[in-house]
Structures are given as C-alpha cells and as structure tokens.
Amino acid sequence: MFEKKTLKDYDFSNKRVLVRVDFNVPLDAGRVGDDTRIRAALPTLEYLLAQGASLVLCSHLGRPKGVDVQFSLRPVAEYLDTLIDAPVSFAEDCIGPMAETAAAALQAGEILVLENTRFHAGEKKNDPEIARQFASLADVFVNDAFGTAHRAHASNVGVADYLPAIAGLLLEKEIQYLGQAIADPKRPFVAILGGAKVSDKIGVIRNLLTKADAILIGGGMANTFFRAEGYPMGDSLVEETALDVARELLDKAGDQLRLPIDVVIANAFDAEAESKTMGMDAIPDGWRILDVGPETIAGYGKVVASAGTVVWNGPMGVFEFPNFAKGTFALAQAVAKSSALTIIGGGDSVAAINQSGLADQVTHVSTGGGASLQMLEGDELPGLAALDDR
Ligand code: AMP
C-alpha cells in the first residue's frame, strides 16, 4: 500500500502547483537528446491541467557549478511546449523576483518552467531559505521526480516543509513497482547486477541476499569477485579496495550469487581491440575482460526464463563498444522474452533495452538509476519520506 498522499487526495482546481519533475535529460549541442524523462512526467502534468491547475515546474539538469548556460533548462521548456497541449513559458531563475513575477502571472491551464535549481548552491545543501522561496511560488507541492528521490535537496525535500506535499503519478508508479518486487516478489526472484564497480552495489547485494533467490553478476564488477577467488586478472578492471568485502559476500552467498562461467577478453581497452572468448580462468597479462561469454548468457537466460520476478541494473560488459555489447543485448532479449514481472533500472541497462527496441516488452523501465538502487538497498528515499502521509 502506498502510504503517501497522491494526486487523488487533493483538489487542484484553481491552485498553483509547484511540480518537482526530473528533467535531468541529456542535451546534445543544446537540444534534448533522450526525452524519456520528459515524456514520463506528462501523465502528472496532464492530470493537474485537466483539474484546472496552473503549473510551476522545477528540476535540476546535470552538475553545474553555479550559473552555467550549458545546463539551462530553456531547451527542455521549448521541447515540452511541443509535447503538451498547454502554453509553456520559461523563467530565467528558479527563485527570486523573476520567478515570483512569472509564477504570479500564470493562469489556470498554463505552465511555467523554472531555470535549473542547481544554479543556486543552497539547492544541494537543502537550505531552508531557498526551500521557502520555492514554496512561495505555489499553493501546493507535487513531487514527481523519482530520479532525484534518493537526494535530500531543497527543491524535493526542503520545500515539503512549507506546503501540502503530494506524490505525483510517476513517483507513485515507480515506488509501487519496485517496492512490490522487493517486499513481496513472485518467486523465483532473480536480480541481475552489472556495471563497473562492486563498491557501488555492496549495499544492494547485502540486502538482496536476504530477499532474492538468485543474484546474477556481470560486467566489471564480476572481476573483483574473480580476483577475490584468486584468479589472475591480467589488465581487467579490479577494485583492490573491495576485495575483502567481495570475499565476505561470496562466503555468505554460496550458490545464491552467480558469476560468469565464460568471458570475452580483449588485448586493449578499445572498440577495435582483438578479442577472444574463454572459459573463466586466469586472464593472460595484457588482456582484460570486457564482456560475458555465450555460455554465461545461455545460463543466465535460463534462470531469467523461469523467474517470477526479475530486476536488472547495470550492463554485462563494455556495451559502448559494439564488439563487447553482445552480453548486455542478449540479456536484454532474455529479460524482454521472460513472462516474469520485469523491472529495469540504471542508465545503461535502460539504454540497452531502448536500443533493442524491446522496452515495451518489460513490465517497468525505471527513470531513476540511483533511486532504484537505493530502494534495492532497502533504504528510505528522502524525496518520498518528506511527503504528506495519507
Ligand atoms: P556503472 O556506472 O557502475 O553502472 O557501470 C557502467 C559502466 O561499466 C559502463 O560504462 C561499462 O562500459 C562499464 N563496464 C561494464 N563491464 C566492464 C568491464 N568488464 N570492464 C570495464 N568496464 C566495464
């Protein structure tokens, strides 16, 4: 059960609503690249407009150090204008007189997009003064930014101290899917974890060892486990500082944690490097693991095919290089084909499923990598905790 107030719990007619969206999208030469996150916000925006509200939207974009036009939300506001049937204007600051005047002039049915919240240092410090200034722009606050929910910043957490604070449809949906998968999964519950570093996912593995029936490991993070088992790893990416914890997790997990049985190695970290497939064994000097091999994919595919719930976060190899992307794309196929409840989170695994054209064959593609990892760790999301209880 979702314990926070949702859109249905509030009458938004003639209200000015501050909506924290996640418009942290990739910009390509000043134009919106992947628009997934903008489209994901539309149901909430359209619902609120249909209720007769006016909308003030705020978001961060990238990691600017102070005001930096490269990280302006103006292109995102212009892009939103092409997607939604409502007038969209833009304010060149997210607080202060410019934002206040523009917000005060809004009519029901209109949208104002504020400039990047991270242009002010107080945003990331969750400064109460900037939070109060955000709140002064509206009558009610809606948080729909799942992708930022693992951060306690002024525009998603601090602001909730000053206004009625309600969950948007995207936030609600994301939390329902992943929360349900973790708390009461249809079994077998299979987690697939990849990506570069094991150190980023230690908390996730610890928590999932108490919940999942199988954890399938791929990507660079498998290397650290192999090293902990004693294999010479050649020039593979290994986190020496995580070897003790890798050993501890291996001991604890037993058969629950599965590592690749074959790997694709390369003689350079390069898209055009010479490559070989080998059963997992000592990696020769001068070579490094860049992908999982076909037998691993077949084995992992079988586990996924018989699963009741699958959660996948992180690529199986250096999927940016087409020659070393086979493992990741084959796994994307296996997840898409599975009749399990399937949830994909994390930028790279989401990119892989999108590039495969299979996104509509998984149950849920998450818009938040960090936030979904934090849920998998079993930790509370500050962006959710700050909202009003039902
Ligand atoms: P993360 O940010 O931890 O999710 O890791 C994603 C990155 O891990 C991607 O950029 C991949 O290229 C990288 N990666 C995956 N497998 C390997 C590997 N075997 N060696 C080095 N990097 C890898």
**Distance (Å, rounded) from C-alpha 103 to C-alpha 15?**
12
**Distance (Å, rounded) from C-alpha 212 to C-alpha 215?**
7
Instruction: Please state the atom number of ligand 1 nearest to the C-alpha of residue 236.
Output: 20
Structural domains in the chain, CATH included, are 7-170 (3.40.50.1260), 177-376 (3.40.50.1260)
369 is known as an active-site residue: no
200 within ligand 1 shell (Cβ under 6 A) = yes
381 has pLDDT over 80: yes
Q: How far is the CA of 74 from the centre of ligand 1 (A)?
A: 32
Summary mean pLDDT of the chain: 96
Give me the pLDDT at residue 177, please: 94
Q: How far is the CA of 133 from the centre of ligand 1 (A)?
A: 40
Instruction: Give 348's pLDDT tier (boundaries 50, 70, 90).
Output: confident
383 within ligand 1 shell (Cβ under 6 A) = no
- Of 20, 58, 367, 368, which is closest to residue 165 (Cα–Cα)? 20
CA quadruple 20, 24, 30, 31: dihedral positive or negative? negative
347 is known as an active-site residue: yes
Q: 3-state SS of 95-122?
A: CHHHHHHHHHCCCCCCEEEECCHHHCCC
- Per DSSP bridges, beta strands 189-193 and 309-313 are parallel
Q: Are the C-beta atoms of 233 and 281 separated by less than 8 Å?
A: no
Give me the pLDDT at residue 76, please: 98
Q: Are the C-beta atoms of 168 and 174 separated by less than 8 Å?
A: no
Question: How large is the average pLDDT for residues 235-253?
Answer: 97
CA quadruple 84, 90, 95, 96: dihedral positive or negative? negative
Instruction: Give 346's pLDDT tier (boundaries 50, 70, 90).
Output: confident
**Distance (Å, rounded) from C-alpha 187 to C-alpha 196?**
28
What's the pLDDT tens digit per position in 105-136? 999 999 999 999 999 999 999 999 999 999 99
Give me the pLDDT at residue 1, please: 74
Give me the pLDDT at residue 54, please: 98
Cis peptide upstream of residue 260 (ω within 30 degrees of 0): no
Q: How far is the CA of 322 from the centre of ligand 1 (A)?
A: 13
Instruction: Give 154's pLDDT tier (boundaries 50, 70, 90).
Output: very high
**Distance (Å, rounded) from C-alpha 220 to C-alpha 231?**
14
Give me the pLDDT at residue 231, please: 98
Give me the pLDDT at residue 49, please: 98
Long-range contacts of 272-280 (CB under 8 A, 24+ apart): 272/323, 273/323, 275/323, 275/324, 280/226, 280/231
37 is known as an active-site residue: yes
Which region, left, alpha or beta, applies to residue 73 given φ > 0 means left and ψ of -120 to 50 means alpha?
Answer: alpha
Please report where in the chains the tokens 């997992």 appear, as a residue: 280
**Distance (Å, rounded) from C-alpha 159 to C-alpha 387?**
10
Give me the pLDDT at residue 334, please: 97
What's the pLDDT tens digit per position in 6-30? 999 999 999 999 999 999 999 988 9
CB environment 97-107: b (16+ within 10 A), e (fewer): eebeebbeebe
- Per DSSP bridges, beta strands 341-345 and 88-91 are unpaired
Please report where in the chains the tokens 């005060």 appear, as a residue: 104
- Of 308, 287, 293, 86, which is closest to residue 189 (Cα–Cα)? 308
Give me the pLDDT at residue 174, please: 96
Amino acid (one-letter) located at 52 = G
250 has pLDDT over 80: yes
Helix axes 169-183, 36-50, angle to 10 degrees: 120
In this predicted structure, which of 24-28, 40-44, 50-54, 329-333 has the lowest mean pLDDT? Answer: 24-28
Instruction: Please state the atom number of ligand 1 nearest to the C-alpha of residue 218.
Output: 16
Instruction: Please state the atom number of ligand 1 nearest to the C-alpha of residue 195.
Output: 5
As given in the structure block, the two tokens for residue 170 are: 């995207």
Atom 4, ligand 1: residue with shortest CA distance: 195
Residue in 201, 227, 237 to alter for ligand 1 test, most ligand atoms within 8 A of Cβ? 237
369 within ligand 1 shell (Cβ under 6 A) = no
301 is known as an active-site residue: no
